[in-house]
Amino acid sequence: MVTNEAKSLLLNKMKMIQKADQQDICLVGPVRLPVQLDDQIVTFNWYTWLKVEREMSPVDVLDSLSQTTLAEMQQSSVLVYGEFDTEDEALIRMHSICHTGDIFGSKRCDCGFQLRESMRMIVSNGCGALFYLANHEGRGIGLFTKSLAYILQEEGLDTVEANHALGFEDDSRNYEDAIRVLTELRAKPVTLITNNPKKLAALQKHGLLSDTHIPLWGDVSDYNKNYLATKVEKSGHIPSDEKIAIG
Ligand SMILES: [Zn+2]
């Protein structure tokens, strides 16, 4: 059980986000998070969230924690930089978790590059948020299945074909929870850092997008050029000049 003293310290950092016919979201934060970014230490405001049953209070959430196994299912979070609720220009990255690219630095994809580069862009803009979406591994198929897809790709299938061969849609990622958190933290439009028209469409549907988006291509190598080409040719990603050059 969470002690009463702990509850009194935590409750003003917990907020329930409710929406009709949906599970509630318990948003926690901000937590100050100093991050080593290249040669500087940058302090972000970090928020995490958890989907819970409807009408739970923050106290209910705290009381339920010892009965849950949250480490068995990773939670999503967001790094917020600058005066996020009031600043006119905010850059947003909706980053899908990539265990191999983000953590191990795998060169089979461009995720690790996109993660660090979008953090740099947000900091240099002075305001923005990096959403790190935990149920998006392998475009939503999970890490274990992603390793199977990689084996198929070594036998010549491309990213889309491999996901189909395993019985999955090419891309089953959903941005609705992140968008609910975004609208809780900020009411003004945002600029999205992405090459992915599905991400743009998801935010557009909610009227959250400014007119432009910022493309993010780079770190092209022999290891990932087929993966990047498939993103453009089959998944509709918006190519950059750099992308065309390697295609
Ligand atoms: Zn990746």
- What is the 3-class SS of 189-234, one letter each residue? CEEEECCCHHHHHHHHHCCCEEEEEECCCCCCCCCCHHHHHHHHHC
For the chain, percent of residues with pLDDT exceeding 70:
97
Distance (Å) from CA 102 to ligand 1 centroid? 7
- Entry pTM: 0.90
Average pLDDT over residues 140-149: 93
Report the DSSP beta bridge partners of residue 131. Answer: 78, 94
- 240 phi/psi in degrees, rounded to 5: -110, 170
Ligand 1 centroid distance, CA of 212 (Å): 25
Q: Residue 56's pLDDT band (boundaries 50, 70, 90)?
A: very high
Task: Answer whether 137's CB lies under 8 Å from 143's CB.
Answer: yes
pLDDT digits (tens, 9 = 90+) for 157-182: 998 899 999 999 878 788 999 999 99
Collapsing DSSP to helix, strand or coil, 38 comes out as coil
Q: What is the pLDDT of residue 244?
A: 32
Give distance in angstroms: CA of 178 to centre of ligand 1. 19
Largest CA distance in the chain: 61
Q: Is the peptide bond before 30 cis (omega within 30 degrees of 0)?
A: yes
Residue pair 17/184 in contact (Cβ under 8 Å)? The answer is yes
Catalytic residues: 171, 173
pLDDT at 240 over 90: no
**Ligand 1 centre and the CA of 226: distance in Å?**
13
Model pLDDT for residues 189-222, shown as the tens digit of each residue: 999 998 888 888 888 888 887 777 888 888 888 8
- For ligand 1, the distance from its centroid to the CA atom of residue 15, given in whole angstroms, is 31
CB atoms within 10 A of CB 16: 17
